[in-house]
Amino acid sequence: MEAISPTKPLLRALAGEAVWPPPLWLMRQAGRYLPEYREVRAQAGDFITLCTTPELAAEVTLQPIRRFGMDGAILFSDILMVPWGLGQPLRFAEGEGPVLDPIRTLAGLDRLQPAGMMQKLAPIMATVGLVREALDAHAPRVAMIGFAGSPFTVACYVVDGKGSKDFAITRGLAFSDPNFFGKLIRILTEATVEYLLAQVEAGAEALMLFDSWAGLLSPAQFRRWVIEPTSLIVRAVRKRHPNIPIIGFPRLAGPLLPEYASRTGVQCVGMDTGMDPRWAANALPATLAVQGNLDPLAVVTGGAAMEAEARGVLAALRGRPAIFNLGHGIVPQTPPEHVGTLVRLVRGG
């Protein structure tokens, strides 16, 4: 494939250029804090229907772009659509988050059917195509970001069956039955590669791997269940698409972040709220892009508190390839006006 230098600010930053002011987007920028999202969500009825109805999913992907003009449009879907595509029963209970029929044994893994996955997930590829078409026509500086959960974080939900503070069942089984857990991680790694490749082929221009629970692991387990599968995914995706940038977000990885960055081969690392961006900037190669990491709660408060925090993040990002973002997803109680103020502040440098 021909290597063309990107012109979209977000893709330039991912290619290693210190773009200033930094391009920005916000994790969970589509969602319940936006009245226009709540309207479409109500129209769809349930969350899986929203994710698998391309016109509706494309609409909510584009809502924050229309309202605030971010530099990236992230596909509206969920990391749990991969286990759903593999055949694991999933529902999103109102106010309770995702609920899956847990899989905790080798025999249980037979319930995962990789052969049928891409057909079930075809509507998501249609969403990617619709979003990319809309951006090409109306917002040519905005990059289309595809994503998946990383195998370990998806495994947390496959095994525990729902959200948890510590995913003790999953982490326990990773020690007590590494044969089972290793096979689960292999299935999810292969499925993730196939899913991400299809998103690129449908029009995604950058990819992000969400590893929200990576930092729950011991360093040795982190190397085995986070770094190894992530590096396999990065290699496999970039073998087919050598120029596709991949953002890795091993949340709560702390001082393991530089090792994660060098061994996985990602083009950008996401910093969570607790990470000192000054430390990360010094600990990471100067050409590696970083993304982060304003506390989402500062955006709920807004005003001077948000401004002071955002300026601190901006100062730390200056002079290196960087993407301004939050340290975790926007929370539902965020006033949309505060997001508008934040975007203007970052754009002012």
Q: How far apart are CA 57 and CA 42, in angstroms?
A: 13
Q: What is each CA distance from 191 to 18, 82, 196, 227, 246, in whole angstroms?
A: 34, 7, 9, 17, 17
| Segment 124 to 183, residues that bind ligand 1CP, using CB under 6 A | 147, 163
Return the range that interacts with ligand 1CP (CB under 6 A); candidates 1-9, 78-86, 173-181, 253-261. 78-86
Q: How far apart are CA 1 and CA 283, in angstroms?
A: 33
Neighbours of 219 (CB within 10 A): 13
Residue number with CB closer to ligand 1CP (211 or 309):
211
x-marked contacts with ligand 1CP along 317-346 as a string, rule CB under 6 A = ------------x-----------------
x-marked contacts with ligand 1CP along 86-125 as a string, rule CB under 6 A = ------x----xx---------------------------
**Residue 136 known to be catalytic:** no
How many residues sit in the footprint of ligand 1CP (CB under 6 A)? 21
In the list 127, 170, 192, 212, the residue contacting ligand 1CP (rule: CB under 6 A) is 212
| Segment 44 to 63, residues that bind ligand 1CP, using CB under 6 A | 47
Find the shortest distance in angstroms from Cβ 304 to ligand 1CP: 27
Residues 290/295/63/248 CA torsion (nearest 10 deg): 30
260 is a contact residue toward ligand 1CP (CB under 6 A):
no
In the list 79, 112, 124, 198, the residue contacting ligand 1CP (rule: CB under 6 A) is 79
Residue number with CB closer to ligand 1CP (212 or 320):
212
Q: How far apart are CA 188 and CA 82, in angstroms?
A: 8
Find the shortest distance in angstroms from Cβ 344 to ligand 1CP: 20
**Strands 268-270 and 246-250: what pairing?**
parallel
32 is a contact residue toward ligand 1CP (CB under 6 A):
yes
- The active-site residue, picked from 12, 33, 71, 78, is 78
Residue ranges in contact with ligand 1CP by CB under 6 A: 27-32, 41, 47, 74, 76, 78-80, 92, 97-98, 147, 163, 210, 212, 329
- Catalytic (active-site) positions: 28, 32, 41, 78, 157
